Structure 1
Amino acid sequence: MQKRVDTLGRRHIRGGRTRLLAALGVAGLLAGTALTGAAPASAASGTEVAPGVTYTEFDIPAAKGTAHAHVLTVDLRDPHVRVDLLHPGAVGARATVSAMADAGGAVGGVNGDFFNITESQHPGVEATGAAVGPAIASGHTLKAAVPDGQRFGPALPPGTSTRDVLGVGVDRRARLDSLALDGSVRTRDDSVPLGGLNQYALPVGSVGAFTPDWGSVSRVRATCGTDTQRAAPCSTDTYEVTVRHGRVVAAADTPGSGAPADGTTVLVGREAGAQWLRKLSPGDPVSVHHRLVAADSRVPFRFAVGGYPVLRDGAPLPGLDAKTSAVRTAAGIADGGRTLVLLALDGAPAYRTGLSMAEVATTMADLGTDDAFSLDGGGSSTLVAREPGAAKVAVLNHPTDTPERAVANGIGVFSR
């Protein structure tokens, strides 16, 4: 990493892509001495990771102490650059950001959505590792969102939900939106709305679909908790039906495990959904349809990841927490969706006080982004990049978890 970013002055600069990159370069110059081993020495003034991809690090004065930020800036105008979901190959699985980046050939990336990390409230139930919100990878829908009350992570700001996503459309523009599940399960005589797709939590009384994308982890967790209480007991009224090539081939009273085979969908019902599934018999024809529907954009997403917005049109969302500081990961959008800014804070002891969500929003605005999105933080916050010619990426921040935490997904930056 040798090429440095030009700088235009010692202050934050708001505006278009040229000014944004200049601001990041200035911030790097103002950072002072970097942590030992935190990044290559050249990164202090901004470093080209690949054409269209720049890395910078800098200090942020905050209410509870100095935070240290690591930033990847991605120029989506560059035809050699693309952004996509990093994921471990199954929804119900976890891997480190560095492992996912290396496996996919990414030049950089950060961790993604909050996820089902533990099940201490449901003894004997396996945590799935699955993400909270919707996920789309390379245009393929992997999953939909769990009910708001079932999410892991800090409280959602007013007006946001688990359906919120940050993504990049087939037009190569980044945007924020909300993705709702639209689907149904149909028989010859009846139909029910589909309540979930590859989710670790299903709405009370619903039927959810699990495809080969789910993986082999147990589906029991999908019937635990309620729409408003994640810790509520698991349902005692459940049923599971396996549909292969459009016909019922098996049924069980409790959700099972094992990856559904190609051409197979496992339907899991709870309460009213379980009662509906019990009407089915082996050999019955069943069709399952599902899609994710965007609230605002008509441009299909090529990539999308869950989290929640903290900045819209340059203004922080009302009601953001200004008291709780922590290590954070965030993504911001500038230039009408043509620039993506990925930020992860450093988790080293000197900087571990981090930022509040209100400070994250202010920081992303100061970096010139118009819209910004909070991703998982704490021990999950990880930013990686690969030097030209290197075989693998390096972790450039200091994650608070040692070794690097395995997460549900991430945002990967790719360069041809």
Structure 2
Amino acid sequence: MTRHQKRSGVRRKSLTAVVALGTVAGAAFAGAASADAATWTTVAAGVSYRQYDLRGAAGTTHAHVLSVDLTNTHVRLGLLYPGAVASRAAVSSLANSQKAVAGINGDFFNISEAQHPGVAATGASVGPAIANGRALKGAVPDGQRFGPALPPGTNTKAVVGVGTDGRARVDSLSLTGTYATVGRRLPLGGVNQYALPENSVGAYTSDWGGVSRKRATCGTDTERAAACSTATYEVTLKKGKVVSTSTTPGSGVIAAGTTVLVGREAGAQRLKKLVKGQPVAVRYGLTSASKSAYGFAVGGYPLLSGGRSLTGLNNSVSAVRTAVGIGNGGKRVFLFALDGAAAYRKGLTVAEVAGALKSLGATEGFSLDGGGSSTLVARPSGATKVTVRNHPSDGYERPVSNGIGVFTK
């Protein structure tokens, strides 16, 4: 069993990541992209870029693709994020601050809270996240996710990432965590998540950020818009001991070496038994279904498996989308983003994106956040800053929770 574990009070370090770029016009064609339908431009050793037209059910759209050769030891993929889970920034800003060659946007995220007046949207992502081999957060309950309906048989634990063996994979990451005191070990229901399962206890660390933890106790496992829980409790641990308690979730930056436990319903009742000065040990990690260890991973949902589209992919709603394709046994990665300019904004269906990834040579495919979030950035030759290569459909870069990046030595 592979775990990316973290002990309460240990310093946590943020990760960097990016993707690569170029510029080239491709030919329009009907159906999914063929490998010779456009010219690839070299961005760096092991990284190339192209752009080309695609014709889907809703009309012509325009794709931007980065091809990353992971057999090249000078290239790596990683997570782009603002240094806090509950935070957002533009992809170009993330790439520049982390000295990335290029990047695309990542997971779906908690973008609004219209159903919960007075509760702040956190900006935190839906699925699990790993940065530099370190677990940042777990997945929210399926009913609490933002984004389109999941394909049948999939859930919020799905990730795409690169293992410590240097191969990219589509996988699933489950949280394994506990808090223990006086010889008793109890389960954690979440780590740095904008939504906790009902009746659970979640842990929040310095990776969370300063946003209020109130949102974590709102909604239910099946309904995101359900009311916030009235039975909550919060315990702050410093150096492994209880230093304070509260009946409501708080806010503010969590210092290194400090862990905040938030409970709802039955979880709140369990936390009320803890008293000031009591030692509490918190441990957690993310366990992969494939038993693989990951250098980085980001959430979304799968599209392709073994060269075949998943059953039940939506083939009726067209939109601007971002996705990842994996080929050559995990050694080739395609970072795919559609253009949001007015002429192309109708985009593709999820099923059409799966077909486009397959035509590029991918056997595994994974959907990331789309719409106004879809962004691909890269450095022009000789430049030190990235530029946006597609046209975000909002007319400007939308701040996002995370992304995938490509770094080159």
Given the two structures, how large is their TM-score scaled by the length of structure 2? 0.92
Corresponding residue for 1:31? none
From 178, 184, 189, the equivalent of 1:190 is 184
Corresponding residue for 1:388? 381
From 272, 281, 303, the equivalent of 1:310 is 303
Structure 1 residues 284 and 313: CA distance shift in structure 2, 3 A: same
**Superposition deviation, residue 4 in structure 1:** 9.8
Corresponding residue for 1:73? 67
CA distance in 2 between counterparts of 1:394 and 1:4 reads: 11
Whether 1:405 aligns to 2:398 is yes
From 110, 113, 117, the equivalent of 1:116 is 110
Contact 1:117–1:127, Cα closer than 8 Å, also in 2: yes
Corresponding residue for 1:27? 37
Contact 2:129–2:298, Cα closer than 8 Å, also in 1: yes
Structure 1 residues 311 and 107: CA distance shift in structure 2, 3 A: same
Contact 1:132–1:146, Cα closer than 8 Å, also in 2: yes
CA distance in 2 between counterparts of 1:265 and 1:140 reads: 16
Contact 2:303–2:366, Cα closer than 8 Å, also in 1: yes
Structure 1 segment 47-196 matched on structure 2, within 5 A: 47-196=41-190
The amino acid across from 2:255 in the alignment is: A
From 283, 290, 293, the equivalent of 1:289 is 283
Deviations 1:157-208 (A, max 9, x none): 0011000000001111000100000011111043321000000000000000
Contact 2:106–2:403, Cα closer than 8 Å, also in 1: yes
What secondary structure does 2:319 align onto?
Answer: coil
The amino acid across from 1:291 in the alignment is: G
What secondary structure does 1:362 align onto?
Answer: helix
Corresponding residue for 2:359? 366
The amino acid across from 1:231 in the alignment is: A
CA distance in 2 between counterparts of 1:184 and 1:391 reads: 44
Corresponding residue for 1:225? 219
Structure 1 segment 243-282 matched on structure 2, within 5 A: 243-282=237-276
Contact 1:60–1:66, Cα closer than 8 Å, also in 2: yes
The amino acid across from 2:328 in the alignment is: D
Counting matched residue pairs gives 388
Deviations 1:135-155 (A, max 9, x none): 011111110000000000000
Whether 1:200 aligns to 2:194 is yes
Contact 1:224–1:233, Cα closer than 8 Å, also in 2: yes
Structure 1 residues 327 and 4: CA distance shift in structure 2, 3 A: closer
Could you tell me the percent identity over the aligned residues?
A: 61
Ranges in structure 2 where 5+ consecutive residues have no aligned partner: 1-19
What secondary structure does 1:405 align onto?
Answer: coil
CA distance in 2 between counterparts of 1:212 and 1:206 reads: 20
Structure with a larger share of its residues in helix: 1
Ranges in structure 1 where 5+ consecutive residues have no aligned partner: 15-19, 29-44
Contact 1:311–1:372, Cα closer than 8 Å, also in 2: yes
